Every structure is written in C-alpha cells, then in structure tokens.
Amino acid sequence: MTRSKYLPIVSIFTFLIFWFGLAAFLHSSLFPSPEVVARVLWQQCQSGELPYHLGVTLLRLVVSFTISMLLGCGIGIALGFNEKLNAFFDNWLIIFLNIPALVTIILCYVWFGLSESAAILAVILNKVPNVIVTLREGTRALDKDLLNMAKCYQFGRLETLCHVVLPQLHPFLMSATRSGLALIWKIILMVELLGRSNGMGYQLHLFFQWFDIASILAYTVAFVSVIQALEFLVLKPLDKQALKWR
Amino acid sequence: MTDVHIHIHEKTHSNADSPTIENFVLNVNSGEFVCLVGQSGCGKTTLLNTIAGLDSNYSGICRIGNKTQNPKIGFVFQQPCLLPWRTVRENIELVFATSNLIPTARIDELLDLMQLTAYANAYPKQLSEGMKRRVSIIRAFAIKPDLLLMDEPFVSLDEPMARGVRFLLQHLWQQRPHTVLFVTHDLREAIGLADKLVFLTRHPMRVLKEVKVLIARENRHDVHAIENFREHLIQNYPELHLLL
C-alpha cells in the first residue's frame, strides 16, 4: 500500500526523463526540453504576462462556469421532475448538445459583436446542455420513497430540495462539475482565440504564429497546474465533506 | 377527537382497466388500533397512499378528525425511508423543519422508549434493519399525528427481530395512544396488535368483514391466546378462509 503512494511521483519522473531524452535526441527548437520550458515559464511569470492572461481566462472560467451550473441545474431538475416539460424540450436539448462549439462561438460573435458578454454567452451555450442532461438523469433516479416521505411529513419545497433532493444529486453535480471544468476551459481558449485580445487562447494564437513551442508548453503547464490545484484543494475536500456519512 | 371516516368510491390506476379500490367504507374510532388484513397485491398500499394524500387521483372522501385538508399523518413505510446523510436525531428532527419548534424532550423520551438513545448520533448505515424501523416509528410518533399509518413495517425483518420491534411498538402505543391503521398480510401479527381486524377482498378491494379482537392487551404476547383466537376466526367466519 505504502509503495503505491509513490507511484504517481515515479510516473511523473519517468515522463520527465523520457521527455529529456527525446528532446536531446531530436535537438530541435520545435521540441524544447523540460528545462527550456521551465525557464520560459519562469520568465513569463516574472514579466507578469502569464499571470495576467491566465487570470483573465480563469475569471471567464469562473463566471461562465457559475452561470452554466446554476442554469443547467435548475432546468435539469425541472425537466427530471416534469414529464411534459421534458417532452417539450427533449429534442431541443439534443440539438443544442450536438451543435459544434465553433458554430455557437461564431454566431455569438457575429450577432452580438466581439464583446466580453458574447464570449461568455458562447461558453454558456456550449456547456448548459451537458449540465441539463446530467442533472435530468440524476433527478429521474431520485428515490421515490424518500420523496413520498417528504411529502407525507409536509416538508416545504426548500426543505425537500436541501435535505432530500440535493444530497441524492451530489454525485451527478460532481460529475457535471468535473466534466464541466474540462469542457469549459477548452471552449474558452477557442473563444479567446477567435475574438478576444487577451487570455490564454489569444496568447497561444500568437505563439502559434511565431512557432514558439516552448511558450505554448509553458502556458499549458501553468494551466494544467491550476486545474489540478482546483481538483485537490476544492473538489476533493468537497467530495469528502459531502460523503462523510458513508 | 380523531375519528376517521374513509369512503372511496373508486380508485383506478392509470395503467389498469378495472378499479383497484371500489366502494370502500371504513370508520375508525379515536385511539383505535385497526389492522387491515388482505392478500399481497390487493391494494392496501394504494389505500394508505390515498389516505396520506400521496395519491389524490381518486373519487371519494377521507375525513380525519374534523379535517379533510392537511391532517397530520405519521407514516411508517415498508422501507424505513431514512435520509442516509442525516443522523438518527436529525432524521427525526427534520419533520419539524417547517414548524421551527423541535420538541427535544419528546424526541429524547421516544428514543429512550425505543432503546435508541445511544444511537441518536449514528447514521442509518450504522444501524441494523430493526433499529431503522424503530427510528421510522419514532419519527411517526414524534409529530403527534392525527392518524398513524403503518404499511407492513416489519415485512422485511426476520421473525425474532420483527417480534422485538412489534413488542416495542405496542409498548409505545399504550403509552401514547393514537388512531392507527396498520396494514399486514400476517394474521398473527394483526391479532397481536389490533383492537379491530378489517379483512379486505381483492380486485377490487373493499371491506369483507370487521372483527373485534377480544384478547386483553396484557395477554397479547401470549402465543397460545393468539393461536386460539385464530382458530376461533377460522371456525366462525368461513367466508374468510381464503385470507386465513
């Protein structure tokens, strides 16, 4: 057991060594070694450029994620409870699920201008259907006996939601959150690349034009680290807290 | 006064062609313990759900005390129906969430009567099935219901455990009499608990026969007394032979 604790670290080191070896063998500016990437990362941090663009992207992520989750949860739970509502919207849900992200982004920019709100709207439109589908399935799987109990003992709407419904939806909420973060940040980069003049996506676009692979990798490392930190510092403790009773 | 008057003209499930319940009339006196005895699948659960207001799709009337709207109903379901993420005490207190006034003393007393004081802060997962039933019984008694409904609450317990919980239920009910409708298909269980037995037909369900149980409360744990009464039923009510 204790040995398997070290395996993730061993695997990262193996990866780094492999990367070093390959970079040394290829000896090309298009495949920089980890050392070069680390140096670029440090420089970008010191110049303040990376923190700024990363911050802008994260801010967009937080705003669009919050709105998508709230909207998606509300609509998803409503559709899960109400069969008629669901029958009315079901087709539209599938249509929105399948519209390519690029199409919504372009349409939002064309119709609403190259503005911040258009960018956020494009991200939300891409994410909300996923949340709705996940939460709808969760709501359908709710324990009918517990709902009957709540009704019989005259729980209010709020009590039923807080004490009976949401705890049962917890795994679905976490799954929507995790897949949501992964999906949203990929879409945000695209949104930034197509119509913003700051943020990670914009920067990556510049680096692409300059063939500056080291910078691209440095930004990637920074972003992945932030997402990992979010997982370990926010999501995992949330999971632990909510599942105490198990 | 919580006399109960139930008259269901008709109750048909949306996916069935014939009514599940038809012309069902039942009167229960205040403080009476009534056992509804019928075969599995005859519509007993449907009846309780209708009385509890969980299913309002029927024609008829349920008058509980003087109320036809929102009477206080304690329901002990077939399953314990406890929230796994709340402790025993929280599960019981939750039914008072809307009233803002939690009767802590009453809950403590009930926990004590049901021998669960030591488990007040345990989560349902840590309890045995019998303990969970006891918690759901406490929850039903705690609200001082106008009517207490019990839907085969011991059906999934093994017999010794069921006997234990049944004994505690009797004890509790004698301390705090309520009007009770107890559904079961187990005649011995019904004789052991009830003031009055109500036998039910199936397809559609209606009242076949009402019989008073004439065993003194203190002799209800006596297996022979219950067995004798059962024999007496078999001999005197041939029309019940299908149910006995």
Instruction: Quote the number of domains for chain A.
Output: 1
Domain segments of chain B: what residues? Answer: 1-67+176-244
The contact set of A with B (CB < 8 A) is: 145-146, 148-149, 151-156, 159, 163-164, 167, 242, 245-246
| Within-domain flag for A11 | no
- Whether residue A4 is contained in a domain is answered as no
Q: What interface predicted TM-score (ipTM) does this complex get?
A: 0.85
Residue A78: the pLDDT is 94
Determine, yes or no, domain membership for A40: no
- Indicate the range of A2-11, A176-185, B65-74, B216-225 predicted with least confidence: B65-74
| Residues 6 or more apart whose Cβ sits within 8 Å of residue A133 | A76, A93, A97
Low-confidence stretches of chain B (pLDDT < 70) are 1, 67-69, 243-244
Contact A149 B52 (CB under 8 A): no
Residues A69-128 pLDDT 10s: 999 999 999 999 999 999 999 999 999 999 999 999 999 999 999 999 999 999 999 999
| Interface mutation vs chain A, best among B81, B135, B139, most A CBs within 10 Å | B81
Kindly determine whether residue A148 and residue B83, on different chains, have CB atoms separated by under 8 Å: no
Q: How high is the pLDDT of residue B244?
A: 64
Q: Which of A145, A153, A161 to mutate to test the interface with B (most CBs of B within 10 A)?
A: A153
A to B CB pairs, distance under 8 Å:
51
pLDDT tens digits for range A117-171: 999 999 999 999 999 999 999 999 999 999 999 999 988 888 899 999 999 999 9
- Rounded to an integer, the average pLDDT of A57-73 is 95
- A68 part of a folded domain: yes
Show the domain range for A230: 54-242
CATH number of the domain residue A214 falls in: 1.10.3720.10
Chain A nearest-CA distance from B80, in A, is: 9
Q: CA separation (Å) from B139 to B94, B127, B143, B219?
A: 9, 16, 7, 27
Q: Specify if A132 maps to a domain.
A: yes
CA distance A69 to A181: 10
Contact B79 A145 (CB under 8 A): yes
Q: Which 3 state secondary structure label does DSSP give A143? A: coil
Q: How far apart are the first and last CA of chain A?
A: 22
CATH superfamily of B1-67+176-244: P-loop containing nucleotide triphosphate hydrolases (3.40.50.300)
A12 within a domain of the structure (yes/no) = no
